[in-house]
Structure 1
Amino acid sequence: MLTNSYPARKPTTAVRRAKPLIALLLTAAFAVTTAPIAAAATAPTDPNVRYFGRWNTANSAAYVSEWAGAYVLVGFTGRTVKLKQRNAIDFFVSIDGGADVSYTNRSGTVDLTPTPLATGNHTLRVSYRPIAGSYKGDAVFQGLELDSGAKTFAPSTPSKLIEFVGDSITVGQLSSKQALTAYGWLIGERLGAAHTQIAVGGACLVSAADGCIGMSDRFLRTGLQADAANWNFSRYRADAVVINLGTNDVGHSVTKEQFQSAYVTLIRRAREKYPNAAIFALQTFRKRFIPETQAAVQTVNDPKVKFVNTDGWIVEATDTADNVHPNDQGHRKIADRLAPIISAALGS
């Protein structure tokens, strides 16, 4: 059997010189294909992020919420989303209108989708635990991280907004999810309205000499402190304002005359800032300063300002956690009574 035998040929000089270059190119290509994919970052200044309540936006990298009931709403694409926090805070997250999930004492970049979502458009709502009493969490929104190539979009938002002004009862203290299980939040959700709770535990109506936060004055502020910046009321217009104050003033030597005068001031300030809003002055559930509250409403003499009699709405023994603060059942009962009153005023 005949075979052809050829001697092995040595690589040419050009081929020998090309080998290192080819190897380098292959290495570089492999490195590019295996490098981590950068996430898409969203800053607090993103116009598609919608803020409800009073947010301090002085620092463009970190928006701060101090009052109860403030929340963030944003639409996003992709399958994952992470929340960028500064220091530790408790917060609640709802994705695509689902149940609010609790996150406790979280800081840094928090993964909100350990199980990736389906591909498509999604919505995210974040609400921070109110800063009050001994709780000093860091209610600061620093933006989001999304999938590479994902983006935010403007979410659908309600046309009406209700503002609830009060103390720890309006905050929702001692209810299961605080602001989220308080009557104000429940009413807003039930009526399909945006909502916010301008409230803090221990607040009075009158700025008392012993330091009690007086909401007739603090209503004008962005945050809790007496020297906090004045709030820019052009950032949103409330269609209804619910005032529930007077429970704490008794313990701070506030006189009847001081209370009535401060209530008139608060109503007039709310009217100045929200010219078309319906304003409701709730009778406190502990029945304090009732004649003075009624007299303040009469003094203002505005057809869109109403006194709301709350007799029989809740029973202390079964509807409160401590004979003062409503439990979840108590807040639901309050919402059942108050929601139709507000709805009628809003025409919804």
Structure 2
Amino acid sequence: MRFLTIFSAIAVLAGSVQAATKVMPLGDSITGSPGCWRATLYNRLWNNGYTNIDMVGTLPAQGCGVTYDGDNEGHGGYLATNIASQSLLPGWLSATNPNIVIMHLGTNDVWNNIAPATILSAFSTLVDQMRANNPSMKILVAKILPMNPSGCSECAQRVINFNAAIPAWATGKTTSQSPITVVDQWTGFSTATDTTDGVHPIDSGNQKISDKWYPALVAAL
């Protein structure tokens, strides 16, 4: 009887230990090459007591000079429209089974002058695939960073036009079981002082990106 009681107590204790919340950073080179805002974000979470998290993805960390959980789905050069049309996301999801996705996608689509409605249709496909993997998926979607690359004088306005369409799309696509939160990564970010080339962030930009993700991700945890 005593051994049964001890076993029961161990079982109850084991049941009370929650599995880590899996967070998938999904995007292009801004997220993954090397995407050092993820290191800043992860370590801020850890230092503030959010230690029961697991950053997931089929891609490993790419340095950044600090220790952090760097798994991600930041695929350099990828377009949201191609990820959707080629059905790449379901395989990434089944390999990692995230609870939360933080998505900064659309930069390469905008660069290629793809219409906002077309990009957002791809976003809808991706959200449907996330929910097929996990009906309770929490999804954080960025208004993407401003762009001012050489050779694309129209990119800055294209980003503004795309970002302006995101909130209404998110409102129409969100559900109580699988909410979509829009995170404004555009406001306060400078292509002149926060990037190397008008697109990819340097340390100051990475800090700003992390600071924008942090409260939204904490709310989702």
CA distance in structure 2 between the aligned counterparts of 1:200 and 1:215, rounded to whole angstroms = 15
1:273 aligns with 2:149: no
Counterpart for residue 334 of structure 1:
209
Could you tell me which amino acid in structure 2 is paired with residue 202 of structure 1? G
Aligned-residue offset at 1:164: 0.9
SS at 2:107 equivalent: coil
For residues 341 and 249 of structure 1, do their structure 2 counterparts lie closer, same or farther at Cα, with a shift above 3 Å needed?
Answer: same
For residues 291 and 276 of structure 1, do their structure 2 counterparts lie closer, same or farther at Cα, with a shift above 3 Å needed?
Answer: same
Give the one of 249, 259, 264 matched to 2:124: 264
Q: Is the 8 A contact 1:204 1:245 kept in 2?
A: yes
SS at 1:164 equivalent: strand
Counterpart for residue 96 of structure 1:
none
CA distance in structure 2 between the aligned counterparts of 1:271 and 1:216, rounded to whole angstroms = 18
Counterpart for residue 42 of structure 2:
188
SS at 2:80 equivalent: coil
For residues 215 and 160 of structure 1, do their structure 2 counterparts lie closer, same or farther at Cα, with a shift above 3 Å needed?
Answer: farther
* Ranges in structure 1 where 5+ consecutive residues have no aligned partner: 1-156, 208-212, 223-230
* Ranges in structure 2 where 5+ consecutive residues have no aligned partner: 1-17, 46-50, 56-70, 147-158
Q: Is the 8 A contact 2:85 2:122 kept in 1?
A: no
1:198 aligns with 2:68: no
Give the one of 169, 185, 209 matched to 2:30: 169
1:9-64 CA-partner distances (Å, limit 9, x unpaired): xxxxxxxxxxxxxxxxxxxxxxxxxxxxxxxxxxxxxxxxxxxxxxxxxxxxxxxx
Relative CO higher for 1 or 2, CA cutoff 8 Å, sep ≥ 6? 2
SS at 1:165 equivalent: strand
Q: Is the 8 A contact 2:144 2:186 kept in 1?
A: no
Q: Is the 8 A contact 1:216 1:262 kept in 2?
A: no
Aligned-residue offset at 1:215: 7.9
What does 1:120-269 correspond to in 2, within 5 Å? 159-171=20-32, 173=33, 178-179=34-35, 181=36, 183-191=37-45, 192=51, 193-195=53-55, 196-207=71-82, 217-222=87-92, 233=94, 235-269=95-129
What does 1:68-107 correspond to in 2, within 5 Å? none
Counterpart for residue 300 of structure 1:
173
What does 1:38-117 correspond to in 2, within 5 Å? none
Instruction: State the TM-score, normalizing by the size of structure 1.
Output: 0.44
Aligned-residue offset at 1:197: 1.7
Aligned-residue offset at 1:282: 0.4
1:192-219 CA-partner distances (Å, limit 9, x unpaired): 3221321211111102xxxxx5587321
Aligned-residue offset at 1:185: 3.4
Instruction: State the TM-score, normalizing by the size of structure 2.
Output: 0.66
Q: Is the 8 A contact 1:313 1:334 kept in 2?
A: no
SS at 1:276 equivalent: coil
Q: Is the 8 A contact 1:203 1:214 kept in 2?
A: no
Aligned-residue offset at 1:243: 1.1
SS at 2:192 equivalent: helix
Larger Rg: 1
Counterpart for residue 219 of structure 2:
344
Counterpart for residue 22 of structure 1:
none
Could you tell me which amino acid in structure 2 is paired with residue 190 of structure 1? R
SS at 2:199 equivalent: coil
1:319 aligns with 2:198: no
CA distance in structure 2 between the aligned counterparts of 1:253 and 1:236, rounded to whole angstroms = 32
Aligned-residue offset at 1:299: 2.5
Size of the aligned set, in residue pairs, is 168
CA distance in structure 2 between the aligned counterparts of 1:198 and 1:312, rounded to whole angstroms = 24
Q: Is the 8 A contact 2:184 2:212 kept in 1?
A: no
CA distance in structure 1 between the aligned counterparts of 2:109 and 2:205, rounded to whole angstroms = 22
1:103-127 CA-partner distances (Å, limit 9, x unpaired): xxxxxxxxxxxxxxxxxxxxxxxxx
1:283 aligns with 2:134: no
CA distance in structure 2 between the aligned counterparts of 1:246 and 1:254, rounded to whole angstroms = 9
> RMSD of aligned C-alpha atoms?
2.5
More helix by share: 2
CA distance in structure 1 between the aligned counterparts of 2:86 and 2:193, rounded to whole angstroms = 31
